[in-house]
Amino acid sequence: MGREERREERGEKRRRREGKRGEEQSREKRSSREKTREKGREKRREKRREKRREQRREQEERRGKRERREERREKR
């Protein structure tokens, strides 16, 4: 084997190694992207929960006012 052939082989090995490293990096990127996506989903879920809580609270307030109004009417 000549010197040139060995050099080419080494280059091939290096390229293969770098390819693996690239795959790892893309996998890490993918997982971090998933994490941010999950964070967004969680935020939206939390907002929805908050809205529901708010509506429930308002409904309870209205019900309470209505009941008080009806009690006043009954007293008269």
Give me 25's structure tokens: 């990096």
Q: How many domains does the chain have?
A: 1
For residue range 10-47, list pLDDT tens digits in order: 777 777 777 667 777 788 888 899 999 999 999 999 99
Residue-number span of the structural domain to which 36 is assigned = 1-76
For the cut 80, the answer to whether the pLDDT of residue 69 exceeds it is yes
The distance in angstroms from the start CA to the end CA of the chain is 112
Q: Does the global pTM surpass 0.95?
A: no
Average pLDDT over every residue of 42-56: 97
Rounded Cα–Cα distance for residues 12 and 6 (Å): 10
Candidate ranges 1-5, 15-19, 66-70; pick with highest mean pLDDT = 66-70
Across the chain, mean pLDDT equals 85
